[in-house]
Amino acid sequence: MRLETERLLIHPITEKDIPRIHDLHCTKEIAEFNTLGIPVDISVTEKLLENVLAEDNQEFGWTIWEKSTNYFIGELGMGISPEMDRGEIHYALLPDAWGNGYAAEAVKQIIKFGFETLHLQSIEANTPTENIHSIKLLERVGMTKESIQQKTLLIGDDWFDNYTFAIAPPDGQLPSK
């Protein structure tokens, strides 16, 4: 499903997006807090996106494009746990796009999609406790810090603590199926 905001076009990931997403994940600044690390080659990225590209899955993935320039600026996704009516989001933007509010705009849009289209009961996101920018972003979009898990994220050779953030639909607007 294609999504749109005031400044962004958010397209479902296709096979032609694999090289862009590979380059994004090869960016040093992105890899700093990415549990996947820098992919060794494009086949690793292809494998990572298999579930997103499958038609009968519970994984959604989108590319993010700046509307005014039609410039690729990042990717985001949501994995669904249908038995619990819960989604988990992730996002990554090219460093050139940082500081413009694009990540918050895109994340708000997929949260809206999760509640209004998928009728989820909650949406989560996880981030290392040291990733201050991601923590601020999740708070800015209305997510609440719910827990901390100690030394559960292996990034490079180091183990990091992890915050879990979550959001539920606004009061009185619980999704119905």
User: Is there a contact between 91 and 24 (Cβ–Cβ < 8 Å)?
Assistant: no
Distance CA 174, CA 171 (A): 7
Q: What is the mean pLDDT of residues 11-38?
A: 90
Distance CA 63, CA 60 (A): 11
Tens of pLDDT along 38-49? Answer: 888 999 898 889
Domain ranges of the chain: 3-121
Q: What is the mean pLDDT of residues 96-114?
A: 96
User: Is there a contact between 86 and 97 (Cβ–Cβ < 8 Å)?
Assistant: no
Given its phi and psi angles, is residue 119 left (phi above 0), alpha (psi -120 to 50 degrees) or beta?
Answer: left
Q: What is the mean pLDDT of the chain?
A: 91
Sheet containing 144-155: give its strands across.
3-4, 8-12, 59-66, 71-81, 86-93, 122-128, 158-167, 144-155
Distance CA 52, CA 44 (A): 14
In CATH, which of 3.40.50.2300, 3.40.50.720, 3.60.15.10, 3.40.630.30 is domain 3-121?
A: 3.40.630.30
pLDDT at residue number 177: 52
pLDDT at residue number 139: 97
Task: Give the position of tokens 């249908």.
Answer: 82
User: Is there a contact between 97 and 66 (Cβ–Cβ < 8 Å)?
Assistant: yes
pLDDT category at 35 given cuts 50, 70, 90 is confident
pLDDT category at 174 given cuts 50, 70, 90 is low
Token pair belonging to 138 = 């999740």
The answer to whether the pTM exceeds 0.85 is yes
Q: What is the mean pLDDT of residues 16-25?
A: 95
